[in-house]
Structure 1
């Protein structure tokens, strides 16, 4: 039996990713004719039709083709792990590292983190991808990313996770709000308030609701959910309600240009945890670079000491 080559599997996966022969060829740095010829050769080797040859400009995969695409991704990830194993034996924190980061962390942590990482690991080349948790997890599983910087809790059971620090929630208020005069705000004081949150799909929305145990009397301005923390801040500045912000974002300048007031949130009862999310690194189970990723987690944790809020 003649086995498919890694290049043929890359052509197939790229076509599935891009849905266009020309774009798939560009992603593989080959001509379109080379990619098409490689896929035809693959079909002959497997003695199976993988792509419907019709009038549609967009490639349509046969049921067999879809199954082969899924297995091709697994095979390519395994081949990359072979190369990673060799690299890890030499210097696991040298060379390229594809890091995925969520939007509620990246803009606020990376500017202060990147210089420190460059100094600590001068041979490390970080390639960054910002996206929401669900899509980053899919890319990690497919072998397109090596490491994720995300916030817990989230649906990341398929990955190995290393917590690196806590990120408490702060209450952002308009300056004349009734709670602005208090040095700290208990969760029960939010009852009856319109608390603005990010739209569905952002893990921060669920984290804020879960970590803060939002009271039943809480109302949410569902018709005006925000797509980013910066938009959320502007909505509060416009008098539409109050919001919960991670301290990381507050220290990262998300309130710039506004007069909003920040107040720490405290639990309703003594002994209860301060409302917070947990920052963490995540990678594929059994990754040969797992030890290096834990070293990187410790290095990041050392640089997460928060500044005192205003």
Structure 2
């Protein structure tokens, strides 16, 4: 490629050609890339030659048997991926602005809620909003809040109310805590359990889980005794209780799983629980989407909330 060709060039480069180049890089084969791009192989080859002439570098090393990106191609294709992703994001945002109930919604959710709530609401959510693609992201509260602030998430299902003016929330439902006991535990004979009676052998989640702090506060424990067991997930915590290692508090939606594990559950005398909310940035433009999700979750969980109020979870 001569200097004249290179200097003449930067008007024709477009996203279509960048997508072609990315397809070839991914599949390392012109025929397969052309098929996926819905064009003929000669057309694909011609467009990539034009792109290379325009950039003034060879993007791919071609042989009869293989195609591989050159070192310069690797570097440029990374920028091509960024450009294509940014363009796709712009199109998705524009579409969502025209119709907020279409497109994707990146939804964070805490690990002590995700396995129990999602099966209850995702099916009805798809039925009610078929053009909305919800992408769940499971993580602890602090990480989800950070991702909300950096716009990596659109909203999050949390059990902690936001305390900064940049975030706000919709209350969804109150989830009661239940005392979880080994079947032969001394407290299992009681109809209701005082939270503080769990303190001597209460097990909690590891640091970072809001349920850990909520359980300790409910049991009147400012911290844990030396050597106390901590679990990295609610499933592990329940298995530890079932094996007789101690007691714990579990959120009400996990009651079915806990019973299946052989755990004895009892309501608490103080009806301790947590408020589940949908948290989002105050500047988030698609309020209609969040309102629709809020209404659906509240409706789906209304009977659960009523049962919780009666101590019948």
Question: The TM-score by the shorter chain falls in which range?
Answer: 0.5 to 0.7
Structure 1 equivalent of residue 107 of structure 2 = 99
Q: Give the whole-Å Cα distance in 1 for the aligned partners of 2:279 and 2:201.
A: 34
**Is the contact between residue 187 and residue 193 of structure 2 (CA under 8 Å) also seen in structure 1?**
yes
Shift in Å, 1:275: 0.6
Change (3 A) 1:153 1:254: farther
Distance in 1 separating the partners of 2:125 and 2:157: 14
1:203 aligned partner: 210
Q: Distance in 2 between matches of 1:145 and 1:186?
A: 38
For 1:277, which of 269, 274, 290 is the aligned residue?
Answer: 274
Change in 2 beyond 3 A, CA 1:120/1:194? same
**Which residue, out of 191, 198, 210, partners 1:183?**
191
3-state DSSP of counterpart to 1:152: coil
User: Are the counterparts in 1 of residues 96 and 103 from structure 2 also a CA contact under 8 Å?
Assistant: no
Residue 235 of structure 2: SS of its match in structure 1? helix
**Cα drift, residue 196 of structure 1:** 0.2
Which runs of structure 2 are paired with 1:27-66 in the superposition (5 Å)?
32-34=74-76
Residues 223 and 156 (structure 1), Cα distance of their counterparts in 2 relative to 1, 3 Å cut: farther
Q: Does 1:265 align with 2:268?
A: yes
Question: How far apart are the structure 1 equivalents of 2:181 and 2:201?
Answer: 11
Q: Deviations over 1:28-57 (max 9, x none)?
A: xx963215778xxxxxxxxxxxxxxxxxxx
Provide Cα deviations, 1:161-204, integer angstroms capped at 9, x if missing partner.
1110101000000111111111111224335x210000111111
CA 244–122 in structure 1, closer or farther in 2 if over 3 Å, else same? same
Return the offset for 1:207. Answer: 2.0
Native 8 Å contact 1:104 1:229 kept in 2: yes
**Alignment pair present for 1:215 and 2:226:** no
Gaps of 5+ in 2: 1-14, 16-71, 81-85
Cα pair 1:197 1:220 within 8 Å, conserved: no
Q: d(CA) in 2 for partners of 1:33 and 1:219?
A: 51
In structure 2, distance between residues paired with 1:218 and 1:143: 34
Larger helix fraction of residues:
2
After superposition, the CA RMSD in angstroms is 2.9
Whether 1:234 and 2:229 are equivalent positions in the alignment is no
Residue pair 1:197, 1:243 contacting (<8 A) in 2 also: yes
Matched, 1:300 2:303: no
Larger Rg: 2
The answer as to whether partners of 1:81 and 1:287 remain within 8 angstroms in 2 is no
2:124 match: secondary structure: helix
Distance 1:147 1:31 in 2: 37
Return the offset for 1:157. Answer: 5.7
Checking the alignment, whether the CA contact within 8 Å between 1:100 and 1:131 is kept in structure 2 is yes
Aligned residue for 1:302, secondary structure, equals helix
After TM superposition, the structure 1 = structure 2 runs for residues 77-116 of structure 1, keeping only pairs within 5 Å, are 84=93, 86-116=94-124
- Counterpart among 148, 161, 165 of residue 140 in structure 1: 148
In the alignment, which residue of structure 1 is the partner of 2:252? 247
Distance (Å, rounded) in 2 between the aligned partners of 1:89 and 1:233: 44
Moved over 6 A (4+): 79-83
Deviation readout 1:255-287 (Å, 9 max, x if unpaired): 43x2210000122xxxxxx21111111111121
Cα distance in 1 for residues equivalent to 2:183 and 2:78 = 62
Distance 2:231 2:110 in 1: 16
Contact 1:81 1:288 in 2 (8 A): no
